Amino acid sequence: MNKFSQRLKEIREEKGFSRKQLAEKMFVSVRLISYWENGQRECDFDTLIKLSKILEESIDYILGNIDY
């Protein structure tokens, strides 16, 4: 798993979102959230920006470029 995959799952769980809840907020499938979290797919820039806003975390943190 890459840092994005690990970090996404970690943040989602910390924020109390199920995969289904995050998928609904993102207007994507639960399967796509699962793919991201398992490192099977990556999201595009626009989706990453949307994730950042919904999860209230910086893009750098989500990507694993910085730690708090």
Q: Per-domain residue ranges for the chain? A: 3-61
Between the alpha carbon of residue 15 and those of residues 1, 12, 18, the distances in Å are 21, 5, 9
How much is the pTM? Answer: 0.90
CATH number of 3-61: 1.10.260.40
pLDDT in tens, 5-51: 999 999 999 999 999 999 999 999 999 999 999 999 999 999 999 99
The reported pLDDT for the residue numbered 9 is: 97
Handedness of CA 34, 35, 39, 42 (dihedral sign): negative
